[in-house]
A and B are shown apart, each in its own frame.
Chain A
Amino acid sequence: MSWCKNVKGVLLDITGVLFESGASEPIKGSIEAIKRLKDSKIPVRFCTNETTKTRQKLLQKLHSIGFSMKEDDVFPPIPACCQILKSRGLRPHLVVNPDALSDFCEINQENPNCVVLGDATDNFSYQNLNKAFQLLMSLETPVLFALGGGKYYKEGSDLILDVGPFAKALEYACDVEAEIVGKPSKSFFGAVLQDLGQPAESVVMIGDDIVNDVGGAQSCGMRGVQVRTGKYRPSDENHPTVKADGYVDNLAHAIDLILQS
Chain B
Amino acid sequence: MSANKIKTVLIDLSGTIHVDDEEISGSKESLTRLRSQNVNIKFITNTTKESKQSARHVIEKRNVRPFMMVDDRALEDFKGIQTDNPNAVLIGLAPDKFNYKTMNTAFRLIQDGCPLIAIHKARYYKKTDELALGPGPFVTALEYATDTTAHTVGKPQASFFLSSVEEFNCRPEECVMIGDDVRDDINGAQKTGMLGILVKTGKYRIGDEDKINSKPFKVVDDFQQAVEVIENELM
A residues sitting closer than 8 Å to B (CB atoms) are 120-126, 129-130, 133-134, 137, 151-152, 158-161, 164-166, 168-173, 175
Interface residue? B76 (CB, 8 A): no
In contact, A161 and B137 (Cβ under 8 angstroms)? no
- Asked if residues A172 and B123 are in contact (CB atoms below 8 Å), the reply is yes
A125-B100, A126-B133, A133-B131 known; A173-B141 Cβ under 8 A: no
For B62, what are the chain A residues with a Cβ–Cβ distance below 8 Å?
Answer: none
Task: Determine which of A137, A160, A168 lies in contact with B104 in the assembled complex, contact meaning CB atoms within 8 Å.
Answer: A160
Q: Which interface class (under 10, 10 to 19, 20 to 34, 35 or more) fits B?
A: 20 to 34
Closest to B103 in A: A161
Indicate if the CB atoms of B104 and A161 lie closer than 8 Å: yes
Whether A124 contacts B100 by the Cβ 8 Å rule is: yes
What residues of A have a CB within 8 angstroms of the CB of B133 in the complex?
Answer: 126, 129-130, 133, 169, 173
The answer on a CB contact under 8 Å between B136 and A125 is: no
7 smallest CB-CB distances across A and B, nearest first, come from A169-B137, A165-B141, A165-B145, A169-B141, A172-B140, A126-B98, A168-B144
CB distance from A142 to the nearest CB of B (A): 12
The docked-state distance in angstroms from the alpha carbon of A170 to that of B107 is: 17
CA distance A164 to B143 in the complex (A): 11
Once A126-B133, A159-B108, A160-B104 are accepted as A-B contacts, the answer to whether A168 and B141 lie under 8 Å apart by CB is yes
Greatest chain B CB density within 10 A among A123, A125, A158, A173 is at: A173
A116 to B181, CA, bound (A): 28
Bound-complex Cα distance A82 to B136 (A) = 31
Docked CA distance A173–B123 (Å): 5
- Minimum CB distance partner of B138 in chain A: A169
Indicate whether A130 sits within 8 Å of B132 (C-beta atoms), given known contacts A124-B100, A125-B99, A173-B123.
yes
Interface contact A173-B103, CB-CB below 8 Å = no
Bound-state CA distance A125–B100 (Å) is 6
Q: At the interface, yes or no: B165 with Cβ under 8 Å from chain A?
A: no
Asked if B29 is at the interface of the complex by the 8 Å CB criterion, the answer is no
User: A173 contacts which of B104, B137, B145 (Cβ < 8 Å)?
Assistant: B137
Chain B residues within an 8 Å CB radius of A172? 123, 136-137, 140
